[in-house]
Amino acid sequence: MTAQQPPRLLRGIPLAVRNLQKTFGARQVLRDIDLHIPAGQFVAVVGRSGCGKSTLLRLLAGLDQPTGGDLLAGSAPLSAALEDTRLMFQEARLLPWKKLSTTLA
């Protein structure tokens, strides 16, 4: 990091999830999720396959919209901080057939 970066990026952004809901059709995947993550804290989301981990992360990254509830960065809507958001997919998406060894060669 350089001294030119805004102080906000050096400290991180506190995240708040309030009463988050997400449904796909009749299937409710996330229900009444409340979470507060202080600035700069690392958090692991753990659960069985299909419990909604990626759905939660997609909502936090702004790739999908909640059915209900609030996502906040500090006291502002998280959607206002999306320029500072990064997402790494759990599988290779761009060139799924390409091996790591050939990528580095």
Ligand X SMILES: Nc1ncnc2c1ncn2[C@@H]1O[C@H](COP(=O)(O)OP(=O)(O)OP(=O)(O)O)[C@@H](O)[C@H]1O
Where does this chain bind Mg ion (CB under 5 A)?
Answer: 53-54
Angle at 88 between CA 33 and CA 37, to 5 degrees: 35
The item of Mg ion, ligand X, none sharing an interface with residue 24, based on CB under 5 to 8 Å by kind, is ligand X
93 touching ligand X, by CB under 6 A: no
Residue 61 touching ligand X (CB under 6 A): no
* Beta carbon of residue 51, minimum distance to Mg ion (angstroms, whole number): 9
What gap in Å lies between CA 29 and CA 19, rounded to an integer? 13
Residues forming contacts to ligand X in the complex (CB under 6 A) are 24, 29, 47, 49-55
